[in-house]
Structure 1
Amino acid sequence: MIELRPFDSLGGANHGWLDAKHHFSFAGYHDPARVHWGNLRVWNDDTIAPGTGFPPHPHRDMEIITYVREGAITHQDNLGNKGRTEAGDVQVMSAGTGITHSEYNREDVTTQIFQIWIIPTRDGEAPSWGSRPFPKGERSGQFVTLASGYGNDNDALPIRTDARVVAATLKAGETAEYPIGKDRKAYLVPATGAIQIDDVRANARDGVAIQDLDVIRVTAIEDSEIVLVDAA
């Protein structure tokens, strides 16, 4: 099954400094058909104005992955972690037993991020934060694992859940495959470009919910940057 969720169908709100689109029910947006996809709970498409951001606020019991599409985001938390994650890079915050953090766009340009929340399968652990670059050249023509709950994904940022976050950059006409298995669910969003899976076309920022496929074959119609969550 491949279900297209067009960008124009997403929930959300424009707060002026923040233009947020929600692939799943979040904050004031609730759609009983879009509460979660397996253990994937949130996929927000956030556009943050220069010099603004999210002031300190708490989280617990959630794996929060931030994929920076444009600009940069600066994180600071009550554990003493502070870091700047720029376009193409990824940060992971395991909220664990509780963490308070802020995220600001300290840049002179607009920042665009995907923020992805996955329900943990391990709890009761101390919170943590990490960030690392993922050069787009390394994922040219293939899926590369950015964050993973599995110990054999050595180069990925660790998350405490039965899931992976992967990404690929494809030139127009290129195809990449991701073996997922029919017992798993996938949610895919092209950050840029346009792609096709079987007979379904997805444009930039559309969501694609996938289940009951052994292998996901993605063909780029235009040069595309793709992010995918492999969920339990």
Structure 2
Amino acid sequence: MIERRPFEQLGGADHGWLKAKHHFSFAGYNDSKRMGWGALRVWNDDTIASQTGFPPHPHANMEIITYVREGAISHRDSLGNEGRTVAGDVQVMSAGSGITHSEYNLESEATRIFQIWIIPDEQGRPPSWGTKPFPVDNRSDRFVVLASGIKGDVGALPLRTDARVLGATLKAGQTVHYTLDKQRYAYLVPAKGAVEINGIRIDARDGAAIRDETALEVKALEDAELVLVDSNP
């Protein structure tokens, strides 16, 4: 089953400095049919105006992945961590027993991110944060694991959950394959470009909710940048 979730039909909010679209229920958007997908709980498509951002606020017991699509995001937290994550790169914050953080766009232009939350396997562990570059060119014509809690996923940022976040870039006409356990859930969003997943068209920033599939064939209808989450039920 592959269900297309068109971008224009997503929930969302316009706060002026922040324009957000929500693939799942979040903040003021509530849809009882879209409370998550497997362990995936949140997928927000955020555009953050220059010199604005999220002031310090707390989180606990959630794996929070930030995929930067354009611009850069500057992070600071109560553990003393500071960092700047640029387009194409990823940061992971394991909120654990509790952490306070801020995320600002200190750039001269808007920053666009995917913010992805995944439910952890265990609660109450010490919080942590990390960031890592993942050059887009290194993902050409293949899926690369960006963040993972699955044994054997070498080189990925660590997650505390039975899930992985992957990225790929395709030129128009190229095809990439992904094998999925039938019991698991997948959610794919093209950051850029249109693709077909097993023959079903998914446009830029649409969501594709996938389950009961064991093999994905993703064909680029135009140059595309993909983000995929593979999680336990």
TM-score (norm 1): 0.99
The residue number in structure 2 matching 1:161 is 161
Residue number in structure 1 paired with 2:173 = 173
How many residue pairs get aligned? The number is 232
Structure 1: unaligned runs, 5 residues or longer: none
Structure-2 separation of matches of 1:84 and 1:183: 37
1:208 aligned residue: 208
1-structure distance, mates of 2:19, 2:217: 31
Runs of 4+ in 1 over 3 A off after TM superposition: none
Residue in structure 2 matched with residue 148 of structure 1 by the alignment:
148
Matches within 5 A, 1:92-107: 92-107=92-107
Q: Determine helix, strand or coil for the equivalent of 1:166.
A: strand
Q: Deviations over 1:1-26 (max 9, x none)?
A: 00000000100000000000000000
The CA deviation string for residues 172-226 of structure 1, in whole angstroms up to 9 with x for no partner, is: 1111011111111100000000000122101110000000111111000000000
Partner of 1:21: 21
Aligned counterparts of 1:199 and 1:177: Cα–Cα separation in 2: 13
Q: CA deviation at 1:105?
A: 0.1
The 5 Å alignment of 1:59-208 reads 59-208=59-208
Which residue of 1 is the match for residue 11 of structure 2?
A: 11
Q: Match for residue 219 of structure 1?
A: 219
Query: Whole-Å Cα distance in 1 between the matches of residues 5 and 90 of structure 2?
Result: 24
CA RMSD of aligned residues (A): 0.6
How far did residue 150 of structure 1 move? Answer: 1.7
Distance in 1 between the 2:229 and 2:7 partners?
Answer: 17
The Cα offsets for residues 69-94 of structure 1, whole Å up to 9 and x where unpaired, read as: 00000000010000000000000000
Shift of 1:122: 1.9
